[in-house]
Amino acid sequence: MAKSIIHKAESRGFSNFGWLKSYHTFSFGGYYNPERIHFGVLRVLNDDEVAGGMGFDTHPHDNMEIVSIPLEGDLEHRDSMGNIAVIKNGDVQVMSAGSGITHSEYNKNKDSVVKFLQIWIFPNKRNVTPRYDQLTLNVEDRVNRFQQILSPNKDDEGVWIHQEAWFHLGKFDGNSEVSYQLKKDGNGIYIFVLNGKVSVDGIELDSRDGLGIWDVSQLSIKSISSSEILLMEVPMS
């Protein structure tokens, strides 16, 4: 029988540093909730807003798959591998920190905010050679359907990571319905509603709500209003 856990938007942790406003679905930084450490290998889901011209100074990571999904504005990335890149809405960025990497992230624009999701996934291989990738997606391919944006496979749609995980984005009209078949037995799925109102197997979710479901092979998702949804299928152990 399917099991689930719901994280309402208003229950998330919140950090306000002036230049950075960040909502934390799972424990992060100064926010600690022993009941919200991770969902399977999904360790971090941060919903960030960075003021114009501001950002994260150079800092290290290792043995983590880090995915950034820009929602608004332009985010500039620089890292110790020599990559300099800007990502914007419609792009997806991935960094395999592996044996160790340093990077910085800044709002490229001084007169407007940048909003993005930062997601951390525990890898299934440790100390791999660090790597960086980004991809511009055709957002029309997610209208009233789920567009794959990440997988474990280099030759599949979207970017790839060192983990048996699949991410999809969908943008739906009101009163539309779609099903999702999980890719791998034993995986769970975390649904994050970017905006709108949806129902997942009868559980209603509003903007920025999260829902984790496991011991399930298929989901039925109904868009009650116009909505945008991120699905993250991940191993549970």
Are 120 and 221 within one domain?
Answer: no
Both 117 and 30 in one domain: the answer is yes
The pLDDT tens digits for 112-167 are: 999 999 999 999 999 999 999 999 999 999 999 999 999 999 999 999 999 999 99
pLDDT digits (tens, 9 = 90+) for 7-23: 999 999 999 999 999 99
CA distance 92 to 80: 20
Name every residue whose Cβ is closer than 8 Å to that of residue 227 and which is 6 or more positions away in sequence: 171, 172, 174, 193, 194, 195, 196, 197, 198
* Structure token pair of residue 82: 């020599």
Mean pLDDT confidence for 37-41: 98
Which helix H or strand E contains 181, and what residues bound it?
strand 176-181
Q: Strand runs (DSSP E) across 51-196, as ranges?
A: 55-61, 65-72, 74-79, 84-88, 91-96, 101-107, 114-121, 131-136, 146-151, 159-160, 166-172, 176-181, 187-195
**Mean pLDDT of all residues in 30-43:** 97
Does residue 3 belong to any structural domain of this protein? no
129 and 26 within one domain: yes
In this structure, the answer to whether residues 26 and 97 fall within a common structural domain is yes
For the whole model, what pTM was predicted?
0.97
- pLDDT tens digits for 155-208? 999 999 999 999 999 999 999 999 999 999 999 999 999 999 999 999 999 999
Of 204, 202, 196, 205, the C-alpha closest to 225 is 196
Query: Which amino acid, residue 87?
Result: I
Distance CA 121, CA 161 (A): 9
Q: Are 168 and 95 part of one and the same domain?
A: no
Q: Same domain, yes or no, for 170 and 152?
A: yes
Phi, psi of 129 (to 5 degrees): -65, 125
Domain limits at 208? 141-235
% of the chain at pLDDT higher than 90: 100
Could you tell me if 171 and 69 lie in one domain?
A: no
